[in-house]
Structure 1
Amino acid sequence: MKSNRNLSRGEGRRLGNVALIAFMLGSLLLLSLIRARFSPIGKTEEAIKAEEQQAMRKESIKMETTDDAASSAAEEEEEETQTQPKPTDTSGTGGGGGSSSSVAAGNNAGADQHPTASKPVCYESSRRSDTCEASGDVRVQGRTQTVYVSPLDREWKVKPYPRKNDAFALSHVKEWTLRPLPPPTADEPLRCTVNSTGTTAFVLSTGGFTGNLFHDYTDVLIPAFVTARRFAGEVQFLVSSHKSWWTTKYVQIFQQLSRHDVVDADADDEVRCYGSVVVGPTFHRELGVDASKTPGGMPDFRAMLRSAFGLERAAAEPSGDRWDIRRRPRLLIISRKGSRRLLNERAMADMASSLGFDVRTGDPEVSTDVSKFARLVNSADVMVGVHGDGLTNMVFLPAGAVLVQVVPYGGLEWLARGTFREPAAGMQLHYLEYDIQLDETTLTEQYDKDDPVLKDPAAIHKRGWNALKDVYLDKQNVKPHLGRLKITLMEALKLLPHGKNAN
């Protein structure tokens, strides 16, 4: 009996211990839940917000272009007015503070998506461009470079030109501000004087380096296409730092993208009301469109140019089955009147004619009629020219044509690659390069044979962009060796389509 009684007491003691442990564990669990609810462990609210903003920055960075260092250096180029880029912050903080070009209030939309939130989204659409988008009650005062938006809970600032890290370029670009729409007053200073609520306002700048053909397309026209095409014509261009001659020069392109007149924003006293606004174009790459972000890519941009300027040839093809006397392949030589002139241009033309080319020459700096020069380029099957903004006319060449870039002496292959070689593939063009040798440059007439300019171009490069430009771009003319150039042009002939009976 004693044994059984002791056993029962032991069992009771064990059961009591189990109950006590269960109670303690339950209490700890309950305390943990309460602590987690009212006092997050290890991270303050500010730390959590910081992590969220960091994640948004990382997502924005994914949208950047993937150009290599050579392409980055090429951004410093082209050409007569360029300087070394310097970092600058073009997105103001306003309102509640915070940084930056890559964080946004609300949704961080993709560069080619229509804004879906009522609040503006200011984001880094690439490493070159910042873009703000807003919808709701949008009122634009162009003369003050101000966009009022309701609803909007803070202020944003942006310079609408896609060279945001280039201090020199941005010094010629006016800053725009997005502000909350103030409550109405008796005199209603923000009353709509022009109502376009079914249209999107698109603010961009023609400051910076416009006037140079390369920059006209790389910095303004292609980014404008990338940004505006999704609106199917229901977009109005509000141009800041407006140059009337520039807008007139490219009016056919703007008419392809918009059903509305282009507005000189800085001189505009109206209060223009819209349903949405985009401030700042989206940049993809030099002379190119990223097809993964904008379906159709550069071929669609080139198709738009053909429509704008009435260009007939979408592809370089022979007449009938093969090239013949009725339609010889046409070679266009791009002339230059300033530096980097082709000193034996006439001899080049005679040599090309002996190969069977129908040779034409053209100077885009002399021609003020874009349509006329575009038609000349579009008629060509091979285009040859020295590195410079005139080669930008490659945008008008038919698909399958050949671009031959003559690269001046001085280790400029990286510059040639980023500006014209890499874009050629996106335009469905063949690309060949002719590198000027020491015996083909006039630099030998200006410098001693032992000068670093001739013997060690890399040493000149190390002195910076201005030193490089001053020597190899501004002081050099070239005289290609006809025998070597003949080999290049024969290769160009082989690259052209030859018809169904060609070997």
Structure 2
Amino acid sequence: MKKQNLTTVSICFVFFVFFFMFQSKYVSLVSNSKVSRSTIIDQGKKDLVSKSTKNWVLDHHSPPPLHSPRGRLITCDRSHQYYDLCSINGPTVLDPATSTFFLQGPSTMTFPSMFKEKIRPYPRKFENFVMKGIKELTITSAPQRPKCEIQHNVPALVFSAAKLVIGGLTSLISHGFMNIDPALIPNSRTFIHFRAFLEKAYGSHGQIHPSKNNSPLVRPRLVLVSRRDSLGRVINNEAKAKLVLEKIGFDVIVFEPNPGTPLNEAYAIINSSHAMVGVHGAALTHSLFLRPGSVFVQVVPLGLDWVAQVCFAKSARAMRLEYMEYKIKAEESSLVEKYNKNDLLIKDPVAFRGKNWSEDIMNIYLKEQNVNFDLVRFGEYFKQVYKKAKQFMDKER
């Protein structure tokens, strides 16, 4: 076959296509994944029927929707808080130019009516300002489908890929922010199992485990996650904070990840450390590389207590890390330079925000705010961190 431009080539997939939301603005196609046909989580059959039955397209011989999942050709479940999930249980043709998936049934099959559904494959459907940036896909049973130019006789998984430095969780459903709920997994896997999976994937690239080094460490190793080139939550006095940490007794490694940072290199740095500290942000997803028992300190700027808990505190505890928080005081936040110290925005961020985590409020606390440590307070706090990290290091000897 002659080489053809992707935008003009239609691709057909046999079996079924799952539309799933993960994290980013670009749609990825993974055609070698082993996907279960049991894709709809049972949240009550009655509730599921009322919300989804209108979206099914069935041939004349198909049984009622709840009686035989294999009889469904197209299903969409929009009952979940975080994500929508659609599947095509049969051959389909992809038109990359329009981001449309066409159901392709046997020539003898007829459909009661044309079906058309749209989906943005991302697990944050409750945040409109985020979802606006996610590419919309179309699923249809329209008869005017493009010709299939390239065939793949395998299942296909469609989702939005991660924009974070590393991906948090990979699954067909979202368990929430940085969370694994064993009740939603048939084999009851936990974060401990996921950590073992990461060890297997990235732990065999030749790095030397601290406890196996012929020259035992005298000082606990601490990774300081830097946001120097980021928009918001930058540590303005990072160099001075590093000197304080070294004076306390840490061997400090400044880690400034970017989208091009090889995961095996990041794993080697963090897995070999005894402590890690960083301001709340996507880069703290690297805490998944810390060994159980090591210390993880999340620096929490003003107004971000709740998001710090749901994004990293829960996962850290689930991985059996020694989790700690350094909460920024008003004097350590750059917001006091822009807003009055007595404003509700600074005095009581919870009351200021209320139940409205809008884009404007989010920008204030996430993008306008930088950190300037009170180095005396910072030093006193990290003496406690040092004690815990030293205990962890000594246990390995």
TM-score by length of 2: 0.69
Identical positions, percent: 29
Alignment of 1:382-461 (within 5 A): 382-409=275-302, 411-461=303-353
Aligned match of 2:150:
194
User: Where in structure 2 are there 5+ consecutive unaligned residues?
Assistant: 1-41
CA contact (8 A) 2:104 2:141 kept: yes
Q: 1:324 to 1:108 in 2, by over 3 A?
A: farther
- 8 Å CA contact 1:311–1:374 kept in 2: the answer is no
Q: 1:57 offset after TM fit, Å?
A: 5.0
The offset of 1:393, in angstroms, is 1.9
Match of 1:336 among 197, 209, 227: 227
1:494 maps to 388
SS where residue 254 of structure 2 aligns?
strand
Per-residue deviation, residues 315-352 of structure 1 (Å, max 9, x unmatched): x986269x985364210111112422223323332332
User: Quick one: higher RCO (CA 8 Å, sep 6+), 1 or 2?
Assistant: 2
- Equivalent position to 1:164, from 118, 125, 145: 125
Residue 83 of structure 1 is matched in structure 2 by none
Higher helix share: 1
Q: Secondary structure at the match of 1:161?
A: coil
Q: Deviations over 1:139-176 (max 9, x none)?
A: 43343411314377662523322222333333333443
Describe the shift of the 1:380–1:153 C-alpha distance in structure 2 as closer, same or farther (beyond 3 A). Answer: farther
With structure 1 as the length reference, what TM-score do the two structures score?
0.56
Query: CA shift at 1:361, angstroms?
Result: 0.5
Deviation track 1:432-455 (CA, whole Å, cap 9, x = no partner) reads: 001111232233333344333433
Once residues 222 and 88 of structure 2 are traced to their aligned partners in structure 1, the CA distance between those partners, rounded to angstroms, is 48
Partner of 2:158: 203
- State how far apart, in whole Å, the 1-side matches of 2:336 and 2:147 are: 67
In structure 1, what is the Cα distance between the partners aligned to 2:329 and 2:199? 37
SS in 1 for 2:392: coil
CA offsets per residue over residues 209-258 of structure 1, 9 Å max, x none?
x64x27x735xxx2xx213xxxxxxxxxxxxxxxxxxxxxxxxxxxxxxx
Take 1:383 and 1:365, find their aligned partners in 2: how far apart are those partners? 17
**2:330 is matched by which residue type in structure 1?**
L
**Structure 1: gaps of 5 or more residues:** 1-52, 62-88, 98-103, 110-114, 183-187, 228-281
Partner of 1:132: 86
Change in CA separation of 1:336 and 1:172 when aligned onto 2, cut-off 3 Å:
closer
Question: Does the 8 Å contact 1:311/1:375 carry over to 2?
Answer: no
2:73 to 100, 104, 119: 119
Structure 1 counterpart SS, 2:97: helix
Residue 169 of structure 1 aligns to a residue in which SS? helix
Measure, in 1, the Cα distance between the counterparts of 2:339 and 2:89.
60
Q: Distance in 1 between matches of 2:217 and 2:322?
A: 24
The structural deviation recorded for 1:305 is 4.1
For the pair shown, which has the larger CA radius of gyration, 1 or 2? 1
Q: In 2, Cα distance between the equivalents of 1:349 and 1:372?
A: 22
1:475 paired residue among 365, 368, 374: 368
Structure 2: distance between partners of 1:501 and 1:367: 32
